[in-house]
Amino acid sequence: MLDSTLFPARRGAKEEALEKKYFVDLSPEERSQLESLTRVGKSSVRKVKRALVLLAVDDGDKDEVAAGKARVSVGTVERLRRRFAAEGLQAALSERPRSGKPAKFDGRQEAYVIALACSEPPEGRARWTLRLLANRLVELEVMDEVSHHTVGRVLKRGNLSLGGASNGV
């Protein structure tokens, strides 16, 4: 026979809702804003999923059900509840800045790399290489240090190639 202290009876939705620390109670204006956000196709998928979660939780769905409706994890639903309660609707819908290494190039430096790549190559060379560009940027003191890989990423973002006659020269 099973011990009821090890396996307590399943609680109802009302008891579980009372235990929730962070409640989502949308005003009619917030609700209509979220509903229109989920219908109009101009928002990011992440924002639409957050809106779906908030609508489901406001309807009284359990976290597991709300997570299933938006195809997110239960932890995401819990974090979204907490963020809504602490910071409001706009904060709950928006992205927080992501961690990561800051960009090596600012706009001016990127433009310099592109201009240099489109210029005549050094004497005795048929074309620029990524290593030559990186070394020249350091020589000209545009950058303190930069790898040829980083220069390649900047050129790729600018849709430039060092290979052919179509490189802007």
Q: What is the pLDDT of residue 82?
A: 92
Residues of the chain short of pLDDT 70, as ranges, are 1-20, 163-169
pLDDT at 11: 47
* Long-range contacts at 80-84 (CB < 8 A, ≥ 24 apart): 80/50, 80/53, 80/54, 81/20, 81/22, 81/23, 81/24, 81/57, 82/21, 82/22, 84/22, 84/24, 84/54
Per-residue pLDDT, 160: 81
Domain limits, the chain: 13-93, 107-157
Res 14: pLDDT: 47
pLDDT for residue 80:
93
pTM of the predicted protein model? 0.53
